[in-house]
């Protein structure tokens, strides 16, 4: 089981994360103070929470902590990457009154990036409902026991590995469900974090993490960052500049040659990506870092990574445009660059799955535009395979995109592109 689990890169990453993690599971608060009808404000309680725009939304309490943390705010200076899977030490809040606690809430039917710590004055305790207690069901217990016995005798090796992967995924989700970093300051920007990232524990006690925009080292205090900036002589990502157009430059960075930079990049990116576990094993990857250039240097905008050798023909493992630079076309540029590199290698490629929600939108938009433009410019009939050779897009991605546009028919065992020039122009008009 263990050997087969290691064959999966996802499995290796999760196991590496598990072994290096020093974070205890998030503490679940006790019964603290009473709300309406004696419903405790504890993990699992649902209630309405007021947003800063005064609108109210249903949320579930995930964790509680004292309003005033007793964590030491000492200054350890800049550090290299990935010493552990941080997450500031959580003090016991169960004995404190409700107004002396802060509450980590997840908004129902919203992405986890919206999760946040809120104070008691933003809660509407009168709307609180207790966490439902699980109903004991002897029938389910007996069925589960039979399934376990059956699995132990008759399960295939693949099912066993899948079960182990699922268990690791569940453990990973449990430990990463609470953001350990609230805000970062990088360059001219102060940015709210979206998700957990395994920064060393001692860097997660404060409200803000300070990051050098050139070398990506992280610090606990602004004065440490100011001192570091006077000494840091890096003004662009390490590696080779492979593209320049006006104020835009792209650098190819080898994860093996520039390990600390790439690990720091992964830790930073994880603050805005929910399902990636690549933090330490950066050696097999190349990182393509997109920057905006001015007289002060090359300022990081986003990046994508890809395996140096991918048996599955993945041309991209992870992609991110940092929040201050989103909705400016940079995501589409990075995707386009990944396919241009595939063309240079004379290979077709596809992004590694699963994609994030924003990644799915970006890829669907890119594929749609490229395929419609290719069909518009063609002088004769094109097959799916022809389009794949022209664009370096994998056939399955072409098929799924054309099916979503209702431009593909399945006839006599073959996929037939059914489209007129008028229909192509109409689709392109809606995209412009």
Convert the pLDDT of each residue in 87-106 to its tens digit.
444 556 778 889 899 999 99
Residue showing tokens 């919203």:
110
Confidence of residue 325 (pLDDT cuts 50, 70, 90): very high
Provide the pairing of β-strand 183-186 with 208-211. parallel
**Would you please indicate which residues are annotated as catalytic (active-site) residues?**
352
Alpha helices in 378-416 (DSSP H): 384-391, 395-404
The Cβ of residue 32 has, within 10 Å, a number of other Cβ atoms equal to 19
**8 A C-beta contact, residue 263 and residue 280:** yes
- Kindly state the percentage of the chain with pLDDT values over 90: 57
Q: Cα–Cα distance between 331 and 358 in angstroms, integer?
A: 10
Report whether pLDDT(112) > 80: yes
Q: Which pair of structure tokens corresponds to residue 294?
A: 């001015």
pLDDT digits (tens, 9 = 90+) for 248-270: 999 999 999 999 999 999 999 99
Q: How far is CA 102 from the centre of its chain?
A: 25
- What pLDDT does residue 423 have? 80
Helix (H) or strand (E) segment spanning residue 236: none
| pLDDT tens sequence across 331-346 | 999 999 999 999 999 9
Nearest to 202 by CA among 184, 218, 225: 218
Domains of the chain and any CATH numbers: 1-134+158-234 (no CATH), 237-354 (3.40.630.30), 361-431 (1.10.10.10)
Distance of alpha carbon 30 from alpha carbon 95, whole angstroms: 7
**The whole model's pTM is what?**
0.76
Cα–Cα distance measured from residue 319 to residue 229, given in angstroms and rounded to the nearest whole number: 27
294-306: pLDDT as tens digits: 999 999 999 999 9
Model confidence pLDDT, tens digit, residues 214-246: 999 999 999 999 999 999 999 999 999 999 999
Q: What gap in Å lies between CA 387 and CA 314, rounded to an integer? A: 18
CA atoms within 13 A on the CB side of 313: 15
Residue 266's Cβ-side half-sphere holds a number of Cα atoms within 13 Å equal to 29
């Amino acid at each position: 089981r263990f050997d087969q689990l290691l064959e999966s890169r996802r499995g290796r990453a999760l196991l590496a994360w598990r072994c290096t993690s020093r974070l205890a599971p998030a503490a679940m608060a006790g019964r603290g103070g009473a709300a309406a009808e004696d419903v405790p404000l504890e993990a699992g309680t649902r209630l309405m929470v007021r947003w800063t725009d005064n609108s109210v939304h249903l949320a579930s309490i995930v964790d509680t902590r004292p309003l005033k943390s007793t964590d030491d705010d000492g200054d350890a200076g800049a550090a290299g990457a990935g010493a552990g899977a941080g997450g500031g030490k959580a003090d016991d809040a169960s004995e404190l009154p409700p107004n002396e606690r802060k509450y980590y809430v997840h908004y129902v039917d919203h992405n986890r990036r919206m999760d946040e710590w809120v104070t008691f004055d933003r809660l509407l305790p009168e709307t609180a409902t207790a966490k439902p207690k699980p109903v004991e069901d002897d029938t389910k217990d007996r069925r589960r026991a039979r399934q376990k016995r059956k699995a132990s005798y008759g399960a295939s090796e693949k099912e066993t590995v899948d079960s182990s992967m699922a268990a690791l995924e569940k453990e990973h989700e449990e430990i990463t469900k609470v953001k350990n970093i609230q805000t970062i300051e990088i360059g001219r920007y102060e940015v709210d974090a979206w998700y957990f990232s395994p920064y060393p524990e001692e860097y997660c006690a404060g409200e803000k993490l300070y990051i050098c925009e050139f070398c990506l080292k992280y610090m606990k205090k602004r004065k440490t960052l100011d001192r570091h900036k006077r000494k840091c002589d890096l003004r662009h990502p390490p590696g080779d500049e492979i593209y320049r157009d006006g104020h835009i430059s792209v650098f190819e960075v080898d994860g093996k040659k520039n390990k600390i930079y790439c690990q720091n990049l992964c830790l930073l990116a994880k603050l805005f990506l929910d399902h990636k576990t690549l933090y330490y094993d950066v050696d097999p990857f190349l990182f393509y870092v997109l920057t905006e250039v001015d007289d002060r240097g090359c300022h990081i905008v986003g990046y994508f990574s890809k395996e140096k050798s991918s048996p599955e023909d993945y041309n991209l493992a992870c992609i991110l445009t940092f929040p201050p630079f989103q909705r400016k076309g940079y995501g589409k540029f990075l995707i386009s660059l990944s396919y241009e590199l595939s063309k240079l290698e004379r290979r077709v490629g596809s992004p590694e799955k699963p994609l994030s929600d924003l990644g799915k939108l970006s890829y669907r938009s890119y594929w749609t535009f490229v395929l419609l433009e290719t069909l518009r410019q063609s002088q004769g009939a094109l097959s799916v395979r022809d389009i794949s050779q022209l664009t370096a897009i994998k056939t399955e991605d072409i098929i799924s995109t054309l099916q979503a546009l209702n431009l593909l028919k399945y006839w006599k065992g073959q996929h037939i592109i059914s489209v007129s020039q008028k229909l192509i122009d109409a689709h392109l008009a809606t995209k412009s």
